[in-house]
Structure 1
Amino acid sequence: MNKTLEETKSAKILIEYLGDSSKVVKETVIKILSSSKIKHQMAITSLSSKKQAVRESAVKVLLKSSDEKVLEALNKALEVEKNEKIKALIRDALNLESDLEENNEELDILKYCKQGLKGNKAATIRWLNCDTLTKVKFKDSETYAESEIIKYMLVCYASCIEIGLSSEALKVGELLNKKDLSKLALEVLQRWLDAGAESKKKWVLPFASVYGDYEVISLLKKNIEEWPKNSRGAIASEAVRALALNGGNEALIIVDNISRKFKFKQVKNAAASALKFAAEQMGIDIEELSDRIVPNLGFDVRGERIFDYGDRKFIASLTPELTLEITDESGKKLKSLPAPAKKDDEVKAKEASAEFKNLKKQLKTVANIQAIRLEMALSSNRKWTKESWIRLFVENPIMHKFAIGLVWGIYKDAVLTDSFRYMEDGSFNTKDEEEYELEDGMVIGIVHPIELNNEDMALWKEQFENYEIKQPFEQLNREIFNVTEEEKKRNTVERFGGTILNGLSLLGKLTDFGWIRGAIGDGGGYYAFYKEDNNHKVEVGLNFSGVSVGYESEEVTVYDLCFYKLGTMSKYAYINVKTQKQNTISIDTLPERFFSEILYQVSRALVSKTGNNDKWREEK
């Protein structure tokens, strides 16, 4: 009895937070209230709240309840609820289909949308001047959809509190022309941006992302990169979440890249969260998702793509450097895709020309992102099964070009047992240029030079030079860092100590490698950078003389490098010596590749050094 009373009391308190402005708080409350029948019944009254956020949270609490009182309350709520997103949630809870799903063929879509616009709901989108927006045809038709249909789709998104999909709008969108919708999405996004990109109208982001094509993706990417520089990290984070809703490979690759390598932690974390959600929906891990979303950009297995002008056709072929080589049907090389001529089919030629321009942008973006991702795979010791390696690096024409520029290894119990090269013709070679065969069950990774002896390294370098193979990033010539005996004794790395450089340069280069600045103390100053590694459960700290946020362009002095238990140091601006010692990890316990890569990143971050401070130990 006491337990029930306590549960009731705690539920009463928690219900007050169903409409909290903090997403984390709200999600935590929903999770707790979803855990028992008593709490479910306590949440029923919140279904009639005047606040949309509270009603939405209450429905989420009751989503999986089978209690008769709850189901009855949800049915009553559905009858009076006006918000389309909440109505969709209630239908999910009751396992009901909307009128759109039940009677798709018989339903009068115009009448349905007009009904959904009643009560002056279109007032929320008045700023868009909807009647001047791009017209949208019905699918497989030359008839344009009435403005009320488009307005209803916009209102569906405008009624959403958080970034997400609108099931109602998606159903309506299925009846419309995709190309027209993508033009509309771009226009809506551009009008929002031109009007100052108000966060209150952030619903534009998911609408534009869901229906937009590569132009929308590119525009979102550009603004995601710019907003945090102007203290708009929150809207940039929302845009990243929206971008993931696009579902296309190009969009997800950009989100993936942001999650790995972005200067602003808030946006980076939002991207990681969006990817994690997408991976969970597919039942795979994030790395596998990252592999699956690599696009082929329309190229066949030979790395060729045809552009049809009607009477003339042109072939764009991928070069080893991932540039485009153009030939006509006779095999004659051309400098670029020619301009449409009078004898060409006007529509086909125009479309082919536009597609080619987009392809060049897409190829550059994908190539840059995959080069970064593969170097990170080298650094983090990422592995593939033989089957997943072939699917990614042999069957995908873009990744095929990367694969032929690297030395690959066979690993058993995380130890390199053999190395090979993937040839342009699809065969495999050893360091001695003998044919090699991949066997089932093999585990494959990118070889790190620290794993190769001098003889093997020399043979691989000679082979790559003889075949004039340019590597996509430094692999064989990568600088190696080994732990010294002195470093083992003191458990700190001081070999970079005393280096003087511009603080902004240090910040920029380290964040490019996935480091984050330390906690900010009094006066806005911070005195360390951290790199968190979940695989090794290690947190690396680079200590320096310190700089204040917004004044990073001052010169700073680098001190030392320390290794700690994951999650113990980066959160605190001031740490006492005792705590530091308790959480320090012995350097000689670190894997060789991991240690070398951390120092490689720091070394690369210090290339713009301006001097040396011999008295750094005294100043520390």
Structure 2
Amino acid sequence: MSDALPRMLVAPPWERDARAYREATKDAEKEVTLVPGLEPPADRSLVWAEGEREEWLKLCDRPSYLADKEKAILESEGWAGLVQAYKDGTVTYTPNQTYMFKRGPEELVRPLLADWSTSPRGGWGPKGDDLKALLARFGLDVRHIVFPHAKVDRARGAWALLPLLDLETAVLMAHWLSQGSGRRIAVEWLGGHGADAVPFLVPGALGKARVPREKARAALACIASRHGVPAVVDAARRYGDRAAAAVERLLADDGSQAAPEPPAKPVRPPKVTWLNRDELPEVRLRDGRALPPEAIENLIGALTFSSLPWNGDLGTHPELGDVLDRCDRASLSAFGRAIFECWIAERTPSRSGWVLDQLCLLADDDAVRRLGALLLKWPGSGTDKHAVQVLRAIGTDTALTWLHRVSQRASAPGRRQAAENCLAMVARARGLSADELADRLVPDFGLDAAGTLVLDYGPRRFTVGFDERLEPFAIDEAGKHRKTLPKPGAKDDAELAPAAYARFAALKKDVRGVAADQIRRLERAMVTGRRWSADEFERYFVGHPLLLHIARRLVWTTDDTAFRIAEDRTFADVDDAPVRLPGEARIRVPHPLELGDANTAWAELLADYEIVQPFPQLGRHVDALTGAERRTGRLERFEGGTVPVGAVLGLHRRGWERGPVEDGGVYHSIVRRFPGDAPDLVVELAPGVAVTAVDALPEQTFREVRFAEPPGETLDAVTASEVLADLSGLE
């Protein structure tokens, strides 16, 4: 049996000859060129790209958080009063302090910087754009704030380090270069500073400590790949000819590879104690033979090396590919899913992210559905965003469909945003917008042009499909209509019938989910005014076996003609006269405000045909900002109203965001941001929403509802109507 197994499963690399490793280590050490004792420069500077500082300075003027108490001080006593309150210890909440340093007069706030101290732990300090704004305004005077916060909060703050040039930043970038999540910023920093960064890296690259040496050498190689080996060698010459020659040698092979280093100590897979091997299904070779227990253990060990960095390129053990090629795909998929289910049952043990990453290799559509369904209401934070990345890396139509569903329906706003970002990355890679990608992801589930599918029980067959409301039906060979398929009987084929019955059950469930997603997508398209070309409309709606049913229940319009899709897939206007779409037509779902007086006639026509719309279009609530509201920015009509906290949370699914979380883990505002020049709409809440215990404060009062500044005509009528409907629906 062992002769038929891949080498990794019989003699895994982490168990191979240790003596050979020691001998290789001794030989490699002889090749290492060291110049110990070099002292790196202590200089610190800021190096700005063209126009970069000016762009970052604009971030100082971006609206940001200031609590009511501090607002009152600023309005009554001016900046001098707020600065004095800070000196007196009254202004203690970090976002308030950040606001003061970003916006306050420089002559008042710059002298306070040296003593300003905020902890980078816990998420309370300046973040992302705030760090950029502070660095652009105050330069190195605020480095003691920017560097530690950017280092700790890498996802949001790392880009603020780009202009910094000093030893600490260079060492950090060399470290990040070896890590998937930090590699992108490290490459940008090293490539941007080029030869100027070399003096900070050479002492480590030629020093005795192996790990810092490897990282520094990789960083020098990265710079050489962008700027050339001669530029790196010339910059290293400040340490003398011997150091320059050593750098030139380690950058042999045109800078793409460093000189030989001692081989790294073989890494053994971690012990996976939480995984019950007895619960795992067998894995078979392509010839049908099952792997023995010791081979299974080695396969698990190989899977633990799976890792998914930020760029989506899955890292695996180099010998794992041969194993996967020689094993039966279906048994591998069942094995990978069983590991995943065990991991979930054990409450996602720490240091086991490989369980998600191995799904990139082994997951079938059933595992993708399971992962996607979990992501809608993931039990914890942290791992969920990793799982979103896994769906993107799997990349099948099923995986991307679930990724889109997560972006629209996940319970956590951060998870929805992570899914949106992943979809945007996939869309860009395909040369599409996120909406265009979503058009292409709607599955047809194997249905024919008529929207039906034949399922075989052996001695009998059934035609299944969905009606105009996407309710399932089945028709037997005698033409009898059924709401569902009968259970397999004794005379049916023992394999075909159960498989057909199970497929119909899965089909009903999948169609329900897809229908809900597409209805939400079309409603959003109506609000945003998204348009399709005539060809796209024919392909993705009229010609789609499922979306046609939804599209037929809506009114559509070109720039000058409103129409519906008739039963025979032709188009008709409100008088039932035929409509021909020109090839250059741009088609959209009109908002009732855009239909104007024709809205009533369309509503009567659809009622005559007993057509029930999938979401409120013709009967939609419409509203408008008053002239005073557009001039002042205050929506006093909603102020003082009290609503359940669940209603406030529901707004997050309609595009609203929570305000900053303050002391006690409570946020006191929700914000609706708009595209273009329209200002944000802010609703101040009392007593506020507790992040970790939303039921603790069950009633919320709208203390104040206002735009960040008067909107004037910057907010279009449709968007204004929709946001007013959001708030009206809560009362």
Task: Please indicate the TM-score interval, normalised by the length of the shorter structure.
Answer: 0.7 to 0.9
Are 2:307 and 2:315, in contact at CA under 8 Å, matched by a contact in 1? no
DSSP-derived class of the 2:667 partner: strand
Alignment match of 2:717 (pick from 573, 592, 615): 592
User: What's the % identity of the aligned pairs?
Assistant: 25
Partner of 2:338: 187
Cα deviation, residue 194, structure 1: 1.7
Partner of 1:90: none
Alignment match of 1:390 (pick from 508, 518, 538): 538
Alignment of 1:311-326 (within 5 A): 311-326=459-474
Structure 1, 301-310 or 434-443: larger mean CA deviation: 301-310
Partner amino acid, structure 2, of 1:16 = L
Write the distance in 1 (CA, Å) between the matches of 2:410 and 2:497: 39
Distance 1:67 1:341, change over 3 A: farther
Write the distance in 2 (CA, Å) between the matches of 1:75 and 1:459: 73
Write the distance in 2 (CA, Å) between the matches of 1:354 and 1:509: 35
Structure 2: unaligned runs, 5 residues or longer: 1-40, 48-163, 230-249
Write the distance in 1 (CA, Å) between the matches of 2:221 and 2:582: 49
Encode CA deviations 1:350-373: one digit per residue, 9 max, x unaligned: 322222222122111111111111
Alignment match of 1:159 (pick from 300, 305, 313): 305
Cα deviation, residue 212, structure 1: 2.3
Alignment of 1:94-173 (within 5 A): 121-125=268-272, 127-130=274-277, 133-139=280-286, 141-144=287-290, 154-162=300-308, 164=312, 165-166=314-315, 168=318, 169=320, 172-173=323-324
Partner amino acid, structure 2, of 1:158 = T
Q: TM-score, normalised by structure 1?
A: 0.77
Write the distance in 1 (CA, Å) between the matches of 2:613 and 2:724: 21
Alignment match of 2:726 (pick from 583, 601, 615): 601
Distance 1:421 1:34, change over 3 A: same
DSSP-derived class of the 1:527 partner: strand
Is 1:242–2:390 an aligned residue pair?
yes
Cα deviation, residue 22, structure 1: 9.8
Distance 1:421 1:548, change over 3 A: closer
Partner amino acid, structure 1, of 2:359 = A
Write the distance in 1 (CA, Å) between the matches of 2:206 and 2:308: 19
Is 1:513–2:513 an aligned residue pair?
no
Distance 1:301 1:563, change over 3 A: farther
Partner of 1:486: 628
Query: Which has more strand, going by share of residues?
Result: 1
Alignment match of 1:420 (pick from 563, 566, 569): 563
Write the distance in 2 (CA, Å) between the matches of 1:63 and 1:323: 62
Partner of 2:428: 280
Partner amino acid, structure 1, of 2:630 = K
Partner of 2:578: 435
Is 1:219–2:370 an aligned residue pair?
yes
Are 1:529 and 1:541, in contact at CA under 8 Å, matched by a contact in 2? yes
Are 1:31 and 1:61, in contact at CA under 8 Å, matched by a contact in 2? no
Partner of 2:190: 33
Partner amino acid, structure 1, of 2:655 = G
Cα deviation, residue 521, structure 1: 2.2
Cα deviation, residue 130, structure 1: 4.8
Are 1:494 and 1:559, in contact at CA under 8 Å, matched by a contact in 2? no
Distance 1:12 1:502, change over 3 A: closer
Write the distance in 2 (CA, Å) between the matches of 1:31 and 1:509: 40
Partner of 1:453: 596
Alignment of 1:396-411 (within 5 A): 396-411=544-559
Distance 1:324 1:603, change over 3 A: same
Structure 1, 52-61 or 123-132: larger mean CA deviation: 52-61
DSSP-derived class of the 1:121 partner: coil
Cα deviation, residue 340, structure 1: 2.2
Is 1:345–2:493 an aligned residue pair?
yes
Structure 1, 530-539 or 444-453: larger mean CA deviation: 530-539
Cα deviation, residue 155, structure 1: 4.1
Alignment match of 1:522 (pick from 659, 663, 674): 663
Structure 1: unaligned runs, 5 residues or longer: 84-118, 412-416, 565-583, 610-620
Partner amino acid, structure 2, of 1:590 = L
Write the distance in 2 (CA, Å) between the matches of 1:60 and 1:405: 61
Alignment match of 2:707 (pick from 556, 563, 586): 563
Alignment match of 1:207 (pick from 358, 363, 368): 358
Structure 1, 309-318 or 59-68: larger mean CA deviation: 59-68
Are 2:269 and 2:305, in contact at CA under 8 Å, matched by a contact in 1? no
Q: TM-score, normalised by structure 2?
A: 0.66
Encode CA deviations 1:178-224: one digit per residue, 9 max, x unaligned: 32222112201011112220241012113235532343233323432
Cα deviation, residue 266, structure 1: 2.2
Encode CA deviations 1:390-431: one digit per residue, 9 max, x unaligned: 2211222111111101111113xxxxx221111231100101
Are 2:269 and 2:302, in contact at CA under 8 Å, matched by a contact in 1? no
Are 1:420 and 1:429, in contact at CA under 8 Å, matched by a contact in 2? yes
Partner of 2:130: none
Partner of 2:406: 258
DSSP-derived class of the 1:523 partner: coil
Are 1:122 and 1:151, in contact at CA under 8 Å, matched by a contact in 2? no
DSSP-derived class of the 2:450 partner: coil
Is 1:381–2:529 an aligned residue pair?
yes
Cα deviation, residue 488, structure 1: 2.6
Distance 1:354 1:418, change over 3 A: same
DSSP-derived class of the 1:543 partner: strand
Partner amino acid, structure 1, of 2:607 = E
Partner of 1:14: 170
Write the distance in 2 (CA, Å) between the matches of 1:439 and 1:335: 40
Cα deviation, residue 34, structure 1: 3.5
Is 1:329–2:477 an aligned residue pair?
yes
Distance 1:26 1:357, change over 3 A: same
Cα deviation, residue 446, structure 1: 0.7
Are 2:251 and 2:259, in contact at CA under 8 Å, matched by a contact in 1? no
Are 2:630 and 2:710, in contact at CA under 8 Å, matched by a contact in 1? no
Write the distance in 1 (CA, Å) between the matches of 2:411 and 2:402: 14
Write the distance in 1 (CA, Å) between the matches of 2:206 and 2:339: 34
Cα deviation, residue 49, structure 1: 5.9
Distance 1:59 1:472, change over 3 A: farther
Partner of 1:541: 682
Distance 1:462 1:249, change over 3 A: same
Write the distance in 2 (CA, Å) between the matches of 1:486 and 1:5: 53
Write the distance in 1 (CA, Å) between the matches of 2:186 and 2:653: 36
Are 1:137 and 1:177, in contact at CA under 8 Å, matched by a contact in 2? yes
Are 1:18 and 1:30, in contact at CA under 8 Å, matched by a contact in 2? no
Write the distance in 2 (CA, Å) between the matches of 1:205 and 1:153: 16
Partner amino acid, structure 2, of 1:128 = L
Write the distance in 1 (CA, Å) between the matches of 2:626 and 2:279: 69
Is 1:363–2:511 an aligned residue pair?
yes
Cα deviation, residue 151, structure 1: 5.5
Cα deviation, residue 323, structure 1: 1.8
Distance 1:430 1:234, change over 3 A: same
Are 1:526 and 1:548, in contact at CA under 8 Å, matched by a contact in 2? yes
Cα deviation, residue 327, structure 1: 1.0
DSSP-derived class of the 2:576 partner: coil
Write the distance in 2 (CA, Å) between the matches of 1:439 and 1:277: 33
DSSP-derived class of the 1:200 partner: coil
Write the distance in 1 (CA, Å) between the matches of 2:271 and 2:674: 45
DSSP-derived class of the 2:537 partner: helix
DSSP-derived class of the 2:382 partner: helix
Partner amino acid, structure 1, of 2:628 = E
Larger radius of gyration: 2
